[in-house]
Amino acid sequence: MTATERNSPPAGRPTDVDAAFLDNATYRSLGEQTLSPAEERFEKGRRTVGLFLAPAVTLVFALLPLDLARDQHLLAAVLLGVIVLWITEPVPIPIGGLIGIGAIVVLGVVPANDALAPFGSTTVFTFIGAFILAQAMLKHGLARRFAMFVLSMRWVGASTYRVVIAFGAITALLSAFVSNTATVAMLLPTAIGILSVIAKLLQSKGLVESDFDPLRLRIGVALMLMLAYGASVGGLLTPVGTPPNLIGRGLIEEATGERISFLDWMLMAAPICLLMFVALAFVLLVLNKPEIRRIEGVSEYVRAERAELGRFSVAERNTLIAFGVTVFCWVFPGIIALTAGTESSLYETVSGRLNEGIVAVLGASLLFVLPTDWGKREFTLAWSDAARIDWGTVLLFGTGIIFGSLLADTGLALTIGEGSADLLGLTNTFAITVFAVLLAIVISETTSNTASAAVVVPIVIPVAVAAGIDPFVPALAATFAASFGFMLPVSTPQNAIVYGSGIVPITKMIRSGASFDVLGALLIVIVLPGMISLVLGG
């Protein structure tokens, strides 16, 4: 059975290009992609090199006579090998992570139960619930309806550049109060629907070959990365925007005794977020220049498509109800934070019980109890629909969480930080701030942002104190930088989600992410100290 046959949509829904987007996957073999001869040679070479380079890097590093504890040494060796597997893709990326976890246990770094315990993170359940919701939106056409609504706006729909920027702005604003992961999960189906429309327009106008691969559009890469990176940028705007903010703020207040209010945080972060967003739009649209600048004829196409979609079906209404309930529960703790404060008992109760992972799976569960035909006991989704979600991405990020936990538990992250500080001889605020930013970004590339903040901020504070420096600036810079990590799918949950769409090749994520890492680091180092001085007078 072909991919198109597996994903044949309901009557009235377009087929070929939509099926390609519906049949998304974390990893596609060379035989499943449409590549030019040059691209195919590069991909074969990259994956062949990785097959031999990964074990070689692991073995060589493990045999080096380094002054490290045995568990730290072996963990570092395995992690380096896994990073090579993730970058070169000789095996599917989720399998690369699983190989690494297996190697850690076999080599005796930690027992199996300890290694696998972080896989129960609520973030994993956020993925599962969000992916099931997205599957319902795609199956029943709700994502396509949203896409048509966005494209019908005169100021957005006519320009591919404005489509990318608009999605980024919406993502950034939402993620200031809603989980970054939840925000990307909410907007992903709409983005995929719009990409399917653009792909069909390109095909109908003869701007691409008839057998082109719609998952390899540059506009698709730009839009998906804008969703992922825009969420990280917007998450910096408020203390509740992302977990690293709360972790860093708490550690800073404990170490310095200086409280950062909700408003003070926003005043310091707003200029940085704005400049980061401008830099992000520039980087993504330059490195992934859309195939067409204007979507000519889109208004006529959209009118016809909206007419064909007709009125909301029962399944669409049910999906919208489940989606709305989930979004409200994701947003509600942020509303409480704005009105009652993050230190109030009400906020602690609400945020603790409306955990984003629990909300996601409960919201997804509604799809299996809201009927489309009660007489026949037919519901909005069947388990066969849920079974088609991208379990590869769930495995991928789960292994990333495991590595992040092990870096902290074994003390390897602390060893890296203290060793780097001693080696570089850090003695002033600027040098320690640069070190804090770089260390946070490097660690966040291979672990979760939360783990990066939890590891780096406690390293930076004693380094600053030992140098006789006020730790406030470098510690806050490390907190901001911990939300970076744009190069790999495992760096952030939102990276993993958009990578799971199958639209963003790993090489393009690395290239775009590395460029934005550099620009973001510069903005934090240059702008943040000035904003701290302006807002707090210190």
Cβ-based neighbours of 29, under 8 Å, separated by 6 or more: none
Element (H, E) at 22: helix 16-22
CA distances from 333 to 40, 169, 186, 215 (A): 48, 22, 17, 36
Q: Is 125's pLDDT higher than 50?
A: yes
Q: Averaging pLDDT over each range in 92-106, 239-253, 297-311, which range is the top one?
A: 92-106
pLDDT of residue 11: 36
21 vs 83, more confident: 83
What is the pLDDT of the chain when averaged over all its residues? 79
Stretch 147-152: mean pLDDT: 68
Cβ-based neighbours of 307, under 8 Å, separated by 6 or more: none
Residue 332 burial (CB count, 10 A): 16
Q: Is 87's pLDDT higher than 90?
A: no
Stretch 128-148: mean pLDDT: 75
Q: Say which range, 366-370, 378-382, 389-393, 504-508, has the weakest mean pLDDT.
A: 389-393
Q: Are strands 371-373 and 378-379 parallel, antiparallel or unpaired?
A: antiparallel
* pLDDT one-digit tens code per residue, 451-461: 677 778 878 88
DSSP string, 46-72: HHHHHHHHHHHHHHHHHHS--SS-HHH
At residue 378, φ and ψ (nearest 5 deg) are -100, 135
pTM for the predicted model, two decimal places: 0.66
* Gap between the Cα atoms of 410 and 402, Å rounded: 12
* pLDDT one-digit tens code per residue, 29-44: 555 555 567 767 877 8
Contact predicate 434/442, CB 8 Å: no
* pLDDT one-digit tens code per residue, 416-467: 767 766 777 777 889 889 989 998 888 888 666 776 777 788 788 878 877 7
The band of 59, judged by pLDDT with boundaries at 50, 70 and 90, is very high
Stretch 299-325: mean pLDDT: 80
Stretch 223-252: mean pLDDT: 84
Cα of 4 vs its chain's centroid, Å: 28
Q: Is 6's pLDDT higher than 70?
A: no
Q: Is 22's pLDDT higher than 50?
A: no
